[in-house]
Structure 1
């Protein structure tokens, strides 16, 4: 059939058999719909078959395995690079912060300071079975693993990527790394760093090191970071004293500190923490860390109710500040810090455990004495001057140098400055014993060549110009009273300014200041002028207590120490011995002590101290002091076993300026002067006679002074300007205050120094009120 016929046949719909073709051609052709061959479609299918065959060749199991292997190698390489490039960093600042712990001498807590309530402890201080409670609770494989939990970390990464939040399962090492080196952020980067650092840390540090870091940085609730703070917060004890049951509770807390705190937990929370507690102990049995029989007998230990951390109110802040100042000074002295500023930064960084010498009982007794004798009588609403009265006191053991009690002010939050350590007020006549000590130590003589002893006669005329000084000085006595010729003993009893001004010149003011410095006062930079004999320099009750303690300690230096011991995990502090070398001769020191007993028995302190019903024949030495314009009043006194200095300071409540104390508590008659023999001596007596213990006597190596020979001279029937006779009457020594007789010739001057008896001052009129001592003097 020709082509034309074929075309016509198709148009008519007719069919016509195709011509016979070769078998090869037929077999290669495809049969279309209705049996008609479709060469185009066959060709297309051939091309598709070829394409499908290429994809199969690309995704064979060999290529997939190779790709996976390559990915693993790439990941391993990336991790190796990350491992090499990620160092173990320094601990973060928050994790390093610790509180400072301050303890009384008996170990009880005085205060805790710092933004973070944490006190790191060595793992050796934590009982072994308590250590195991944390491992049993958090990571039973801790001692065997490499520091990471790969499954848990992978889970955490997937949850972080998918946004499902935090995921548990980390090892103790990882948790420690998160707490100490990193932060709590839930990011892929942080989790990868945690993994790397944990692996490195496990290789470089011991398991004990890691466990110690973990239990010291973890948060336990109640504001407590670390096991030591937690032990105190929940059981009122140190970590070293925890039981297994208590340790299991603390370990359980780490899962949910606030939810599991028994004091605030719901019923559900209490059930959960008890279940967790049982889980911990059962794990310990499983790990063979706890006997099964012992486990069965254990009961859940309900923690104690929360208690606020000891604050700084009351006297606490003063004691803490004084301890810090002493610690900072020692850090500089031993070369640990280059300056006081550096030392202060070290202390504020935290981690210190400071045990002070403060005796809780004596501290309470001192506070009670000041309240009963003084502060309860102050009423600033009635008298504005009452708001200006600032008391301060320090009590020292003269045999050890320990500061046993300290009163810094009415309240640390109401008056920040510590009145016990401030040195901006004059010690006034409490300086006079140091002048006598210098005279005896230097074996000084008067202007006419007489050795200065307790019996040496001086002219006690008020405003008498001193002799032998290039600098003119003529000080008045208290109330401008004239005493005429009197012994040193009587001049000390009556606190006669004119006598000690002349004695200072006789000794030499340079030597006076030198000996005062040896006894414990800071005399650097002071001018060696006669005016210093009146105690015109600044001094603190702490300094005065130290100087008098040195006298009490027979001339062997006593430096009052408030700190008993110091501990820090990174630093060692060596505390100096509060008892130093012999700084003045024992006989000189004992003679001053002997003379100072006369101030109590026959002088400015006898009303408040000698006649105190609680004295019980206790032997006492001491000295009163009242500064110019009554801006300060003092009594520093001692028994053989206790030295206490009490000072009252007039400080304007609004601007801090020094003001008079006169009129405080409504004292009469006008001007209502507060003297050293008044409230300061009353406070001293009320405290000392309660705190001293048994009655004791001074062991004195001297033949001079009121403790050896009672003061006795005739009284004067004429005015105080009269002069006693040259030969005082003689009576056997007695323990009672001496009687007096009229002089044989009031106008004669003595021609020799008495050897066995000492003239006393003229008789005086008793004070108008019991608060004012006999002949008070500054």
Structure 2
């Protein structure tokens, strides 16, 4: 009889009762499994008493360590000015380009700053400033954790802590620095008055525009002294401290302007909540738009544009690699000085680009004779497509005269320079027309002006007008690119799918976060900068491998070297798609809207060129982005009111009826490129499409509109076409080349009269158009 049978049910019940009441009868011993034994061992090792004891022990240890630190660390002498050094900026060959100026700071007594203005900083940064002990324990703990985990610090510092970091310590992200900041802040709060700390904070903070302290900031942004600032102006300066460069009204993007306005409102609303500002006063305040900046000495000409752009690139990298937690901290680190920044700018190419803009554009503008001439702004960026290096950049006529960098601004439409992106998407996605034919350079589309775009048999409510309302009838994609036919690319965008078009645009390097996937985008109605478009075309020139233009070659600070990312990335689109677009774009130069400025330029010397013109709605911008195998350059002209900086048309500028992409932008591009290219290399293209293919037939144009959205021909598009005086659009696909020979001989010498692109002829300006994209 085993143990269980001997005890029986009654015995087991009695045993349970005895165990529950702690009875005298001992339960019979049972064997336990090894798992149960292990569990019991773990419980013995980790009891609640031991866990609590360990926790309190660590707390006591931490408190003891902090007490030791508190006793050891004193308030050091302020040395922010003594430690600050100049930054040195160099060309790619090591020659010095510029040094930044001395510190622009004038300390003012707090009594000279209106009380309401003082309180804007408290409302912006630390509402409990007058009540707290000088530290934010939660924020500091979070900062220490993020530093230990490699994430960098994140907000939460009090005004006292920020002042300590600015004046007594450095911007470096280490645990020791954070602990010192905590101790010094506690001591400073005990030993000094709140007004002393607030005065130190507003006098040492960096406000952008090389302004350190509230007096320098008041002069830089409002041309007044700190004692004359209004509460509204003070709220802007207080809001500015969160991100000085991003929130500077003179250079802020539309998103940046929205953010700083929101921050400004936040500051004033906090003041109302704290009882520091009445609701009626708050309601009557309007946003105080700052005045134009006055650049620092030594930054004249193009230097200021290049230095600022390099600083921005370095700051972004510091955030990306975790050295700085955000843009504000990165900017403070760069402005603290001691950096040696080497740019990819080639000194000779930079000089050549500046010279070509002067000779081809600015020397021909006369604002005294024509007011509109004062509204024309030029920007350009030149990139090596094999390395991604930005070898030259033109930001404007002079950093002292026009603060905004026209090479990096992204608030003007790129217009028809976006059309190659649509074709790249079609080829990379292997898209088809409405009737199921693959889209290639030879696909026939309806080029009728104002033709309704169709999607799966349904009109989408978009019917773009061609330049000068020109009807082309049935034309190939190649000819549509050459002539920049809006109606064709609007239909192609829908055929591909606008979501895919936007996706490919992002892969090629455009900023697509605010780009809507709608047919109207096919006209290039989004914003883009010359630097951005140079990157897109550099990716095409690099056979589809992503090229992100890199302005900074290297950056060093004391013993630290910032690692810059490789500008050349992975395949963005297939090589065949990229090379096919390049092949098509050679037709724009040889047979399209860039002929007069580029194809027949006497300095070309047989160089193979691909490129695209663009003229935006109402002639507010004009572009030419083009490339040889070794150099990509994007040139943009922008209509900007000289006083209000609003976007305005450029009609009649330089005495021309209309400024088109094939005009000044292409002329600037040609003089610069053909002057510095150094060789006449050819494109190595993996494609059987486009204008680089030997011609086999020639379409005969007609002006009669057709109704079919698209269909596929059976032969290839010619590499060049006769002048429009002899070319008529065709109403049907071309005959087979095996039975019908070519009907014309393409022009072979510059002596042949080149065709007029309908606005891109700088020698024979045409009447103003209807403002449609070209």
Interval containing the TM-score (normalised by the shorter chain): 0.5 to 0.7
Q: Kindly indicate whether the alpha-carbon contact (under 8 Å) linking 2:444 and 2:475 is maintained by their aligned counterparts in 1.
A: yes
Question: Within the alignment, does 1:649 sit opposite 2:638 as a pair?
Answer: yes
Question: Within the alignment, does 1:588 sit opposite 2:577 as a pair?
Answer: yes
Residues 752, 702 of structure 1: CA spacing in aligned structure 2 closer, same or farther, 3 A cutoff?
same
Q: Kindly indicate whether the alpha-carbon contact (under 8 Å) linking 2:381 and 2:530 is maintained by their aligned counterparts in 1.
A: yes
Q: Distance in 2 between matches of 1:679 and 1:739?
A: 22
Please name the residue that 1:623 is paired with.
612
Give the one of 544, 555, 577 matched to 2:544. Answer: 555
Question: Within the alignment, does 1:692 sit opposite 2:681 as a pair?
Answer: no
Q: Distance in 2 between matches of 1:751 and 1:686?
A: 38
Cα deviation code 1:516-575 (max 9, x no counterpart): 100000011321000000000000000000000000000000000000110002644211
Cα deviation code 1:553-598 (max 9, x no counterpart): 0000000000011000264421100000011100000000000000
Q: Kindly indicate whether the alpha-carbon contact (under 8 Å) linking 2:724 and 2:755 is maintained by their aligned counterparts in 1.
A: no
Please name the residue that 1:719 is paired with.
703
Deviation for aligned residue 1:764: 6.4
Cα deviation code 1:478-521 (max 9, x no counterpart): 00000000000000000000000000000000000000100000
Residues 728, 467 of structure 1: CA spacing in aligned structure 2 closer, same or farther, 3 A cutoff?
closer
Q: Distance in 2 between matches of 1:699 and 1:331?
A: 37
Deviation for aligned residue 1:622: 0.1
Bigger mean CA offset, 328-337 vs 435-444: 328-337
Q: Kindly indicate whether the alpha-carbon contact (under 8 Å) linking 1:635 and 1:646 is maintained by their aligned counterparts in 2.
A: yes
Please name the residue that 2:64 is paired with.
none
Question: Within the alignment, does 1:701 sit opposite 2:686 as a pair?
Answer: yes
Q: Distance in 2 between matches of 1:369 and 1:711?
A: 38
Deviation for aligned residue 1:470: 7.1
Count the aligned residue pairs.
499
Q: Distance in 1 between matches of 2:334 and 2:476?
A: 52
Residues 336, 721 of structure 1: CA spacing in aligned structure 2 closer, same or farther, 3 A cutoff?
same
Q: Kindly indicate whether the alpha-carbon contact (under 8 Å) linking 2:595 and 2:755 is maintained by their aligned counterparts in 1.
A: no
Please name the residue that 2:335 is paired with.
348
**Matched residue of 2:636: which SS?**
strand
Q: Kindly indicate whether the alpha-carbon contact (under 8 Å) linking 1:490 and 1:711 is maintained by their aligned counterparts in 2.
A: no
Deviation for aligned residue 1:337: 1.3
Q: TM-score, normalising length from structure 2?
A: 0.60
1:566-577 pair list within 5 angstroms? 566-569=555-558, 571-577=560-566
Question: Within the alignment, does 1:608 sit opposite 2:597 as a pair?
Answer: yes
Q: Kindly indicate whether the alpha-carbon contact (under 8 Å) linking 1:619 and 1:696 is maintained by their aligned counterparts in 2.
A: yes
1:231-242 pair list within 5 angstroms? none
Question: Within the alignment, does 1:750 sit opposite 2:733 as a pair?
Answer: yes
Question: Within the alignment, does 1:543 sit opposite 2:532 as a pair?
Answer: yes
Give the one of 359, 362, 371 matched to 1:375. Answer: 362
Q: Kindly indicate whether the alpha-carbon contact (under 8 Å) linking 1:715 and 1:741 is maintained by their aligned counterparts in 2.
A: no
**Matched residue of 2:454: which SS?**
coil
**Matched residue of 1:387: which SS?**
helix
Q: Distance in 2 between matches of 1:537 and 1:648?
A: 16
**Matched residue of 1:525: which SS?**
coil
Q: Kindly indicate whether the alpha-carbon contact (under 8 Å) linking 1:455 and 1:753 is maintained by their aligned counterparts in 2.
A: no
**Matched residue of 2:324: which SS?**
coil
Residues 747, 380 of structure 1: CA spacing in aligned structure 2 closer, same or farther, 3 A cutoff?
closer
Q: Distance in 1 between matches of 2:325 and 2:743?
A: 56
Deviation for aligned residue 1:457: 0.4
Q: Kindly indicate whether the alpha-carbon contact (under 8 Å) linking 2:383 and 2:534 is maintained by their aligned counterparts in 1.
A: yes
Runs of at least 5 residues in structure 2 that lack an aligned partner in the other structure:
1-70, 105-166, 170-295, 747-753
Residues 558, 748 of structure 1: CA spacing in aligned structure 2 closer, same or farther, 3 A cutoff?
closer
Q: Kindly indicate whether the alpha-carbon contact (under 8 Å) linking 2:80 and 2:168 is maintained by their aligned counterparts in 1.
A: no
Deviation for aligned residue 1:109: 1.1
Q: Kindly indicate whether the alpha-carbon contact (under 8 Å) linking 2:452 and 2:460 is maintained by their aligned counterparts in 1.
A: no
**Matched residue of 1:647: which SS?**
strand
Q: Kindly indicate whether the alpha-carbon contact (under 8 Å) linking 1:626 and 1:675 is maintained by their aligned counterparts in 2.
A: yes
Please name the residue that 1:323 is paired with.
310
Residues 97, 594 of structure 1: CA spacing in aligned structure 2 closer, same or farther, 3 A cutoff?
same
The structure having more radius of gyration, on CA atoms, is 1
Please name the residue that 2:289 is paired with.
none
Q: Distance in 2 between matches of 1:616 and 1:405?
A: 22
1:30-41 pair list within 5 angstroms? none
Q: Distance in 2 between matches of 1:620 and 1:773?
A: 24
Residues 89, 739 of structure 1: CA spacing in aligned structure 2 closer, same or farther, 3 A cutoff?
closer
Residues 440, 726 of structure 1: CA spacing in aligned structure 2 closer, same or farther, 3 A cutoff?
closer
Q: Kindly indicate whether the alpha-carbon contact (under 8 Å) linking 1:728 and 1:758 is maintained by their aligned counterparts in 2.
A: no
Cα deviation code 1:356-412 (max 9, x no counterpart): 000110000000000000000111000000000000000000000000000000000
Deviation for aligned residue 1:471: 4.0
Bigger mean CA offset, 622-631 vs 324-333: 324-333
Q: Kindly indicate whether the alpha-carbon contact (under 8 Å) linking 2:453 and 2:463 is maintained by their aligned counterparts in 1.
A: yes
1:100-499 pair list within 5 angstroms? 100-115=87-102, 311-468=298-455, 471-499=460-488
Q: Distance in 1 between matches of 2:85 and 2:727?
A: 73
Q: Distance in 1 between matches of 2:350 and 2:721?
A: 34
Please name the residue that 2:494 is paired with.
505
**Matched residue of 1:440: which SS?**
helix
**Matched residue of 2:625: which SS?**
strand
Residues 759, 453 of structure 1: CA spacing in aligned structure 2 closer, same or farther, 3 A cutoff?
farther
Question: Within the alignment, does 1:578 sit opposite 2:564 as a pair?
Answer: no
Q: Distance in 2 between matches of 1:571 and 1:753?
A: 67
